[in-house]
């Protein structure tokens, strides 16, 4: 896909995201230059502050003041005026929206028996503008297989905001679809944060391929045994290994002979070895390959290295 087409698609995604906003704020969001619309990563709404747009270099103000009522309206639009149907994710602080958007929300937690059951008096919202970049994994995926044709457990590495989730999504699509030098595989996606497939009432809003089974909003430590028992996957994919329980879940899957594909916040393998949590991951040799994402003036580059 050419750069011009990518920018056009990015701007269209931005405009689609603004449809979640109340009309006054939507007009303000659409008033920023088209070049910034194509680069926008999030729309940020904070009661009592000006709505801002998150760009790679930071937030810029739109000048449109956000009232608490605006956040309630956004929530109604995002849930298609059925908050009850979205109660399970709302209490976790996010909503999934038709079209593949995700809205993070903050407010007052409603506590019962030590657990949060709902959010009220909404105070902030972040509309994440997830974008599909189909094809970025096409040349990369075949390089993640060994000489014996088996998928090699792979980590995707980059600092926060580097594009790990976007690449993970397209790698899942590519592995699940197959073709060329890449066999079609059954992939089980543990979408704990709802950011990869962006499920809405059982239907993925993003293309994760025809042979992908999605377990949504489930911690990895609980999800790995479920998909191992229920779905007979050849590869388990998961986003953001961040806690020891995630590593134990990955170890369990690897011990069952299932391939693994996951992301980690790190610039490269050297940085992994400097952090105790990930040092343990390397010492266990659960993962064999790493895809390092780097970003420069020409865009993102994907380099494969052995672990």
Asked if 157 and 106 sit in the same domain, the reply is no
Kindly state whether residue 150 falls inside one of the protein's structural domains.
Answer: yes
Number of domains in the chain: 2
The answer to whether residues 287 and 155 belong to one domain is: yes
Terminal Cα-to-Cα distance of the chain (whole angstroms) = 31
Residue 136: inside a domain: no
Three-state SS for 179?
strand
Contacts of 92 (CB under 8 A, 6+ apart): 217
Could you give the CA distance from residue 173 to residue 182 in angstroms, rounded to a whole number? 11
The last residue of a domain, from among 128, 153, 178: 128
Same domain, 170 and 47: no
Cα–Cα distance, 195 to 87 (Å, whole number): 17
Total number of residues shown for the chain: 307
156 with 57, same domain: the answer is no
Q: Domain boundary at 107, 128, 149, which?
A: 128
Instruction: Give the three-class secondary structure for 220.
Output: helix
pTM of the predicted model as reported, rounded to 2 decimal places: 0.81
Tell me which DSSP letter residue 145 carries.
B
What is residue 2's predicted lDDT score, i.e. its pLDDT? 45
Consecutive H or E run containing 164: helix 164-177
- Distances in Å between the Cα of 169 and the Cα atoms of 91, 117, 215 are 25, 30, 14
Structural domain includes residue 189 = yes
* Domain, as residue range, for 281: 141-306
Contact 69, 145 (CB under 8 A): no
154 shares its domain with 254: yes
Q: Spell out the per-residue pLDDT of the chain, length 307, in tens.
A: 444 545 667 888 999 999 999 999 999 999 999 999 998 999 999 999 999 999 988 999 999 999 999 999 999 999 988 888 778 888 888 888 888 888 999 999 888 887 777 788 999 999 998 778 889 999 999 999 998 889 999 999 998 878 899 999 999 999 999 988 889 999 999 998 888 998 888 899 899 999 999 999 899 999 999 999 999 999 999 988 989 899 989 988 988 999 999 999 888 888 888 888 888 788 888 899 999 998 777 778 899 998 8
Task: State whether 151 and 291 are in the same domain.
Answer: yes
Q: Is residue 163 part of a domain?
A: yes
pLDDT at position 7: 62
Q: Is residue 135, in this structure, part of any structural domain at all?
A: no
Q: Are strands 289-296 and 154-158 parallel, antiparallel or unpaired?
A: parallel
Structural domain contains residue 133: no
> Does residue 116 sit in the same domain as residue 247?
no
**What was the pLDDT predicted at 284?**
83
Is the domain of 190 the same as that of 77? no
The phi and psi torsions of 92 (rounded to 5 degrees) equal -90, -5
Q: Following DSSP, what letter does each residue of 55-103 receive, concatenated?
A: ETTEEEEEEEEPPHHHHHHHHHHHTTT-GGGGHHHHTTTEEEETTTEEE
* Same structural domain, 85 and 157: no
- Residue 6 has a pLDDT of 58
Together in a domain, 109 and 197:
no
- 297 DSSP 8-state letter: T
Q: Does 171 lie in the same domain as 302?
A: yes
Establish if 272 belongs to a structural domain: yes
Q: Strand pairing partners for 156?
A: 263, 291
């Amino acid at each position: 896909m050419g750069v011009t087409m990518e920018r056009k698609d990015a701007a269209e995604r931005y405009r689609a995201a603004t449809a979640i906003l109340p009309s006054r704020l939507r007009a303000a969001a659409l008033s920023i230059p088209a070049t910034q619309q194509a680069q926008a990563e999030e729309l940020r709404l904070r009661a009592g502050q000006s709505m801002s747009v998150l760009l790679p270099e930071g937030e810029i103000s739109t000048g449109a003041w956000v009232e608490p009522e605006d956040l309630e309206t956004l929530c109604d639009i995002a849930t298609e005026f059925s908050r009850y149907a979205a109660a399970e994710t709302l209490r976790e602080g996010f909503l999934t929206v038709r079209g593949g958007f995700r809205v993070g929300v903050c407010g007052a937690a409603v506590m019962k028996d030590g657990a949060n059951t709902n959010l009220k008096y909404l105070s902030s919202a972040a509309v994440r503008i997830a974008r599909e970049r189909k094809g970025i994994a096409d040349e990369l995926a075949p390089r993640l297989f060994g000489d014996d044709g088996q998928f090699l457990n792979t980590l995707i590495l980059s600092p926060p905001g580097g594009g790990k989730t976007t690449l993970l999504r397209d790698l899942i699509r590519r592995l699940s679809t197959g073709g060329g030098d890449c066999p079609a595989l059954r992939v089980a996606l543990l979408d704990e944060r709802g950011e990869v497939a962006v499920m809405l009432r059982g239907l993925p809003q993003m293309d994760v391929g025809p042979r992908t089974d999605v377990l949504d909003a489930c911690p990895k430590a609980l999800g790995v045994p479920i998909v191992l028992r229920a779905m007979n996957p050849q590869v388990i994919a998961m986003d953001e290994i961040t806690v020891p329980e995630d590593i134990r879940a990955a170890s369990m899957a690897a011990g069952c002979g299932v391939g693994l594909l996951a992301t980690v916040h790190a610039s490269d393998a050297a940085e992994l070895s400097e952090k105790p949590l990930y040092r343990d991951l390397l010492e266990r040799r659960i993962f064999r390959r790493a895809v390092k994402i780097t970003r420069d003036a020409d865009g993102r580059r994907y380099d494969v290295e052995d672990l």
